[in-house]
Amino acid sequence: MACPPTDTAANATSTPPPSQAHAHPAPAASLSEPDSNPPDYNVPPDQSTSQVPEYTAPLPTELHLLEKVHMTHKTPPNFFSPLRPERIEDKIPNTEYGERMRSLNQEILKSRSVKRTATHAWVLYSGMLLADSALVVALILKLIHFSAVGLILPIAIIFLWFMPRRPQYIDTVAEFAEKWTKEDELTGINLIYQVRYERTFNAGLFISCTLEFYEQLTFDGHNGRPIAVLDLPLYEASPQATNQESHQQA
């Protein structure tokens, strides 16, 4: 009885001998594939990633009061003195300061607002004096009653109603102060002008007016110290001047 064929011959033909199997070993699997495009270190880095970020937030500033110039009604047309104060002598030329004050005084004199305000003040004070005198007399004579109070109160209210709360010369000084601040900013002068006014009991100048001169200070971001802004014109800070200074320092 014949035996069934075995797969010995097939195994012999499909399986290589040990000598041939070790003759050409299979390459080992690499841990990482080599980069087909190695980096070129001669190429400068991307500017978008290497550029230092710029912070455009403004530095904290404050205003430092340098001088006050009070308005007076006793020496018209010089409501504001044309003499420059000593504390701002290094800020603005004397001739320019005098011309500004003379222009302001002429505008105030032209509007005649100081005289009108003084007239209103005299009328108001006279009316209040008469009303107070009538009340005192009525109390002394014991004649005061509701009809007298009803007559005096409307008179006082009428005087107060027609009394200007903000005279025209206050607006004139405020307009000049705003104009001077813009002019000094363009020329590099570190001066800011502000106007203060308050009601007084002076019949000649019922509402006082004061022109204040401020210096702008910028706080240093490192130590928090206030630093005065330099009085330099804007046109001097040009790129050419900056390049020349850098070449000289080098």
- The single residue listed with the structure tokens 């001998």 is 17
39-53 pLDDT per residue, tens:
555 655 555 455 554
- How is 11-79 classified by DSSP, letter by letter? HHHHSPPHHHHTTSPPPPPPSSPPPSS---TTSPPPHHHHSPPP--PPPPEEEEEEEEEE--SSSTT-S
133-183 pLDDT per residue, tens:
766 766 666 655 555 556 666 666 666 666 666 788 999 999 999 999 999
Q: What is the overall mean pLDDT for the chain?
A: 71
- For residues 165 and 198, the answer to whether their CB atoms sit within 8 Å is no
Bridge partners (DSSP) of residue 230 are none
φ/ψ of 9, rounded to 5, equals -65, -40
Percent of the chain residues past pLDDT 70, beyond the cut: 45
- For residues 168 and 79, the answer to whether their CB atoms sit within 8 Å is no
pLDDT band at 200 (very low <50, low <70, confident <90, very high): confident
> For residues 189 and 197, what is the distance between their CA atoms, to the nearest angstrom?
25
- The single residue listed with the structure tokens 């012999």 is 12
10-47 pLDDT per residue, tens:
444 455 555 554 555 555 555 555 556 665 556 555 55
Enclosing H/E stretch for 234: none
Single pTM value for the model:
0.56
Q: Which residues of 133-145 are buried (b: 16+ CB within 10 A; e: fewer)?
A: eeeeeeeeeeebe
Residue 198 has pLDDT above 90, yes or no: no
Bridge partners (DSSP) of residue 213 are 67, 193
Q: Give me Rg for the CA atoms of the chain.
A: 45
> For residues 221 and 60, what is the distance between their CA atoms, to the nearest angstrom?
9
